[in-house]
């Protein structure tokens, strides 16, 4: 298993060979995001902007007007918060093919703590009209999504994790935008996740199985545009759905699933596991996943509690 950021950098370095419109615009973080792999291969198509995220977006937009199709390289939180206004006006409102790589997503960013953690990116980018929002599960899907987004015309935000996670997909997996996938069937409850959290939810399902809880696992890589039909097919006849995300429980995956279910599947109950409107902190990955309830063990625990308590309330 490789880290998603590595896969992203390596894939761009490959695609650069055949796609002369591919340029990378960096915000002084290429050696963290791994855009440096592209920079070494194509220095003339690597544009360093320095620590100026708004300007990165404006420059990427300008390059797009001349036929280039840029990828942006910085930490996700500095795109979704520091550069949101230029993304809105120069990328979303113009339909520019500017690809936003939100690196170091979620909580696990090498102990940098809450100023660098992005637990709102899915909610923020989902609310922006015309934005495509994708969160791949592992290295395999990260590569497929990087390739897909590189060909796609129009704005795309992709969430990439800093560190490697357990494999979810087989080699040769094909990413189909909008499609949700049933990774594991189960009768008692449907666990719905996105991004690298899906990998930990699969482990949680294993743990639950050992405790005699038969949980299905559904992966939603494309948060927007959300293919409601595909999601509903995956949810099937389940009566209890629990979303799990390395993100706030407000407006992200849990919000998207709740919107669809509340409208199309009255009768289905949706519980949401994730950050409970709180900021996190610095710490080793294992510590953070455990403390904030996202480790496979803690997810399994919460699922058992939720199944135990009828009409349980997530705070």
Ligand X SMILES: Cc1ncc(C[n+]2csc(CCOP(=O)(O)OP(=O)(O)O)c2C)c(N)n1
| Residue from 137, 135, 189, 133 nearest 167 by CA | 137
Q: Catalytic: which of 53, 120, 141, 246?
A: 53
Residue 53: active-site member:
yes
Per-position DSSP letters for 219-286, written without gaps between them: E--EEES--HHHHHHHHTT-SEEEEEEEEESSSSHHHHHHHHHHHH-BTBEEEEEEE-S-------HH
Contact 52, 79 (CB under 8 A): no
Sequential DSSP letters for 131-188 = -EEE---SHHHHHHHHHHHHH--S-EEEE--SS-----S-TT----TT--EEEE--SS
Instruction: Estimate to the nearest angstrom the gap between the alpha carbon of 268 and the chain centroid.
Output: 25
Give Cβ neighbours of residue 93 (< 8 Å, ≥ 6 apart).
Answer: 130
Contacting other proteins within 19-48 (CB under 8 A): 20-21, 23, 26, 28-32, 36, 43-45, 47-48
Contact residue for other proteins among 17, 93, 236, 305 (CB under 8 A): 93
Which residue from 4, 6, 41 is spatially nearest to 24, judged by alpha carbons? Answer: 41
Min separation Cβ 3 and other proteins, Å: 15
> Both tokens of residue 45?
């198509």
Does residue 264 touch a copy of itself according to CB under 8 A? Answer: yes
Scanning 8-16, 144-152, 267-275, 294-302 for contacts with a copy of itself by CB under 8 A, the matching segment is 267-275
- Of the two residues 165 and 228, which places its CB atom closer to a copy of itself in the complex? 228
Residue 37's binding partner among ligand X, other proteins, a copy of itself, none (Cβ under 5 to 8 angstroms by kind) is: none
Under rule CB under 8 A, residue 125 binds other proteins: no
Whichever of 109 and 296 has its CB closer to other proteins, that residue is: 109
* Member of 150, 180, 194, 248 binding a copy of itself (CB under 8 A): 248
* Tokens 């940098």, residue located: 112
Which residue, 113 or 166, is less far from a copy of itself as judged by CB? 113
Task: Give strand pairing partners of 47.
Answer: 25
Provide the binding-site residues for ligand X, judged by CB under 6 A: 28-29, 51, 78, 82
* CB of 134 vs other proteins, minimal distance in Å: 24
Residue 67 as a binder of a copy of itself (CB under 8 A): the answer is no
78 near other proteins, judged by CB under 8 A: yes
Residue 277, binding choice from other proteins, ligand X, a copy of itself, none, Cβ under 5 to 8 Å by partner class: a copy of itself
Exactly one of 9, 16, 252, 274 binds a copy of itself (CB under 8 A); which one?
Answer: 252
d(Cα 42, Cα 16) in Å, to the nearest integer? Answer: 7
Per CB under 8 A, 191 contacts other proteins:
no
Q: 88 vs 147, which CB is nearer to ligand X?
A: 88
Residues with a catalytic annotation lie at 53
């Amino acid at each position: 298993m490789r880290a998603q950021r590595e896969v992203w950098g390596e894939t761009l370095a490959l695609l650069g060979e055949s796609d002369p419109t591919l340029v990378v615009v960096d915000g002084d973080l290429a050696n963290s995001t791994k855009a440096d792999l592209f920079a070494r291969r194509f220095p003339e198509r690597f544009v360093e902007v320095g620590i100026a995220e708004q300007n990165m977006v404006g420059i990427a937009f300008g390059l797009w007007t001349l036929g280039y199709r840029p990828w942006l390289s910085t930490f996700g939180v500095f795109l979704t918060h520091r550069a949101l206004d230029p993304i809105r006006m120069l990328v979303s409102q113009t339909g520019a093919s500017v690809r936003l790589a939100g690196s170091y997503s979620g909580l696990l960013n090498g102990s940098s703590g809450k100023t660098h953690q992005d637990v709102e990116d899915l909610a923020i980018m989902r609310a922006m009209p015309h934005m495509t929002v994708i969160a791949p599960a592992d290295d395999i899907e990260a590569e497929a999504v990087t390739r897909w987004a590189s060909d796609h015309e129009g704005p795309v935000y992709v969430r990439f994790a800093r560190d490697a996670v357990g494999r979810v997909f087989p080699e040769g997996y094909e990413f189909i935008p909008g499609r949700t996938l049933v990774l594991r069937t189960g009768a008692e409850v449907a666990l719905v996740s996105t991004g690298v959290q899906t990998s930990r939810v699969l482990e949680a399902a294993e743990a639950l199985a050992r405790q005699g809880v038969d949980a299905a696992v559904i992966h939603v890589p494309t948060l927007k545009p959300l293919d409601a039909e595909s999601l509903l097919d995956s949810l099937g006849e389940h009566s209890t759905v629990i979303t799990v995300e390395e993100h706030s429980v407000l407006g992200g995956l849990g919000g998207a699933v709740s919107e669809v279910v509340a409208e199309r599947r009255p009768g289905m109950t949706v519980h949401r596991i994730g950050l409970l409107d709180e900021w996190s902190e610095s710490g080793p990955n294992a510590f953070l996943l455990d403390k904030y309830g996202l480790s496979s063990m803690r997810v399994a625990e919460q699922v058992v509690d939720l199944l135990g308590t009828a009409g349980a309330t997530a705070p």
